[in-house]
Amino acid sequence: MDGWRAAAACREVDPDLFFPVGVGPSAVVQADEAKEVCRRCPVRAECLRWAMDDSRQVTGVWGGLTENERRSLRRRSRRTSGERR
């Protein structure tokens, strides 16, 4: 197990919270609740880095971001790195 996971705030929370089903209002509320856990997490940055770089997670809330938010962040990062060339 990655060392950062031992300090994760989500260790004491039902993992299903971080995987909302659908896109309706209840899924949005669930994602917001998951993000609230992430906001108080001391290893949020490590979690997000792992989800985006190491494992390429496509579902769920990781590091305080939903799959759509992570996808947008990737696009912005690619655009920004392309502009620097």
Q: Is 80 annotated as a binding residue?
A: no
Q: Is 33 annotated as a binding residue?
A: no
Q: What is the chain's length?
A: 85
Q: Pick left, alpha or beta for residue 80 (phi over 0 → left; psi -120 to 50 → alpha; otherwise beta).
A: alpha
Q: Residue 6: how many CB atoms within 10 A of its CB?
A: 9
41 is in an annotated binding site: yes
The two structure tokens encoding residue 10: 């989500």
Is 38 assigned a ligand-binding role in the annotation?
A: yes
Q: For residue 37, give the nearest of 16, 51, 55 by alpha carbon.
A: 16
Residues making up the annotated binding site for [4Fe-4S] cluster are 10, 38, 41, 47
Residues making up the annotated binding site are 10, 38, 41, 47
